[in-house]
C-alpha cells in the first residue's frame, strides 16, 4: 500500500510552524530563567525584584564585575550625614566603651538633621540639644577626668552617689532618643513604594522607642504631630541633597546602621551598670 506524501505547500507550512514553536519555547524558557535570576516567582504577571540587580561592567580579564558604589556627597566630609556618622563611629572605642566627646559631637549633627523635619521633631531635637549641652559641660568641666567615656562616668557617679541627678540619667534619655532616630531613618530608607510614608513609619518608631516612657497626653500629641512629617521623598532630599532616590536611601540606611551600632554598644554598657531604669 502506498502512503500519499504531503503536498509541497503542506510541507512548507509544517516547517514554518515547527520553527515558530521552537521560537516560542525559547522565549518562554528565557523568560523563566530571567525570572529566577531576578528573584521573581513563576506565575506572577508583573514582578519587581526584591532588591536592585547589580550592574555589571567588563573587566580587563573579560569577566563581568559589579562597579564600586560611589558615596554621595551627603556622606562626605562636608555632608551632614557624613559628619554625623564619622563622629558616632569614632565614639566606639576598641575596648568596648563609648567616648563621650565624640558621642556628643555625633548628637550635635543629628539634631541639625532632625530640626527641619517638623514641629514635633524640632521640639525633640531642641530637648536633645539641651541634654547634649548639659553633658558637654561635664565633659569639659572640673570633673572632666571622670567623663571621658560612658563607663568611667557611670562608675564615678555610682561611687559618688549622685546617680539620680547625673550625667548618666541625661545620657539614658539621649540613648532612648537615639533608638527612635535609628528606627525612623532605617524605616524611611528601606520602606517600599506605596507603603506607609515617613510620618507613619517614624510614628511607629516613636511608639516602640519613646512612647513607653511618656505620659498619655504626650503620646497622643506625638501621634498627631508625626502625621505632619515631610513625605519620604522630601525627607530623603533633606538627608542627601542632589542625590537620586537610590543613593539617598543607601546613604540613610548606612547612617542608620551606624546609629544602631552606637545604640547597641550603649545599651550593653548601661545594662552592665544597672542604669536602664534610671529615668
Q: DSSP per residue over 147-171, as a string?
A: -SBHHHHHHHHHHHT-GGGSHHHHH
Q: Report helix, strand or coil for 65.
A: strand
**What is the rounded average pLDDT of the residues 107-116?**
91
Check: CB of residue 236 under 8 Å from CB of residue 188: yes
Residue 43: left (phi > 0), alpha (psi -120 to 50), or beta? left
Confidence of residue 104 (pLDDT cuts 50, 70, 90): very high
CA-CA distance, 102 to 189, in Å (whole number)? Answer: 25
| Closest of 50, 52, 32, 51 to residue 42, by C-alpha | 32
Check: CB of residue 221 under 8 Å from CB of residue 118: no
Model pLDDT, residue 46: 31
What digits encode the pLDDT tens for the residues 60-81? 444 444 455 678 889 998 898 9
CA-CA distance, 80 to 238, in Å (whole number)? Answer: 10
Query: The cell 525559547 sits on which residue?
Result: 26
Choices 3.30.420.480, 3.40.50.720, 1.10.3520.10, 3.40.30.10: CATH for 73-272: 1.10.3520.10
CA max distance for the chain: 117
Cβ neighbours for 5, distance < 8 A, ≥ 6 positions apart: none
**What is the rounded average pLDDT of the residues 125-135?**
93
Of residues 234 and 39, the one with the higher pLDDT is 234
Helical (H) or strand (E) element with 57 = strand 57-58
What digits encode the pLDDT tens for the residues 137-162? 999 999 999 999 999 999 999 888 76
Hey, how many other C-beta atoms are within 10 angstroms of the C-beta on 134?
A: 13
**C-alpha grid cell for residue 5?**
506524501
Query: The cell 540613648 sits on which residue?
Result: 175
Query: The cell 552606637 sits on which residue?
Result: 262
| Closest of 193, 210, 214, 194 to residue 202, by C-alpha | 210
Cβ neighbours for 164, distance < 8 A, ≥ 6 positions apart: 278
Confidence of residue 133 (pLDDT cuts 50, 70, 90): very high
Paired residues of 99 in beta bridges: 149
Q: Give 71: exposed, middle or buried? Use CB within 10 Å, 0-12, 13-18, 19+.
A: middle
**Crossing angle between the packed helical segments 167-190 and 100-114, to the nearest 10 degrees:** 50
CA-CA distance, 74 to 185, in Å (whole number)? Answer: 15
CA-CA distance, 177 to 104, in Å (whole number)? Answer: 13
Ranges of each domain in the chain: 73-272
What digits encode the pLDDT tens for the residues 14-50? 344 434 333 333 333 333 333 333 333 333 333 323 3
Amino acid at each position: 500500500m502506498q502512503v500519499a506524501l504531503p503536498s509541497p505547500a503542506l510541507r512548507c507550512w509544517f516547517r514554518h510552524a515547527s520553527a515558530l514553536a521552537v521560537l516560542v519555547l525559547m522565549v518562554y524558557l528565557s523568560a523563566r530563567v530571567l525570572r529566577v535570576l531576578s528573584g521573581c516567582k513563576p506565575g506572577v504577571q508583573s514582578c519587581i525584584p526584591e532588591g536592585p540587580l547589580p550592574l555589571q561592567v567588563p573587566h580587563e580579564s573579560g569577566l563581568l564585575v559589579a562597579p564600586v558604589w560611589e558615596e554621595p556627597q551627603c556622606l562626605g566630609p562636608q555632608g551632614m550625614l557624613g559628619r554625623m556618622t564619622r563622629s558616632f563611629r569614632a565614639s566606639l572605642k576598641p575596648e568596648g566603651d563609648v567616648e563621650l566627646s565624640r558621642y556628643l559631637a555625633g548628637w550635635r549633627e543629628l539634631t541639625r538633621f532632625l530640626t527641619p523635619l517638623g514641629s514635633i521633631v524640632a521640639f525633640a531635637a531642641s530637648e536633645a540639644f539641651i541634654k547634649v549641652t548639659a553633658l558637654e559641660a561635664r565633659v569639659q568641666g572640673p570633673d572632666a577626668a571622670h567623663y571621658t567615656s560612658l563607663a568611667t562616668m557611670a562608675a564615678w557617679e555610682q561611687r559618688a552617689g549622685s546617680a539620680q541627678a547625673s550625667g548618666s540619667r541625661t545620657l539614658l534619655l539621649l540613648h532612648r532618643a537615639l533608638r527612635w532616630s535609628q528606627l525612623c531613618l532605617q524605616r524611611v530608607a528601606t520602606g517600599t513604594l506605596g507603603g506607609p510614608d515617613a510620618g507613619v513609619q517614624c510614628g511607629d518608631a516613636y511608639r516602640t522607642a519613646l512612647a513607653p516612657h511618656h505620659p498619655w497626653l504626650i503620646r497622643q500629641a506625638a501621634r498627631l504631630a508625626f502625621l505632619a512629617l515631610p513625605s519620604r521623598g522630601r525627607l530623603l532630599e533633606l538627608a542627601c541633597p542632589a542625590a537620586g532616590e537610590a543613593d539617598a536611601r543607601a546613604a540613610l540606611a548606612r547612617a542608620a546602621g551606624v546609629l544602631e551600632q552606637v545604640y547597641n554598644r550603649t545599651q550593653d554598657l548601661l545594662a552592665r551598670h544597672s542604669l536602664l531604669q534610671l529615668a
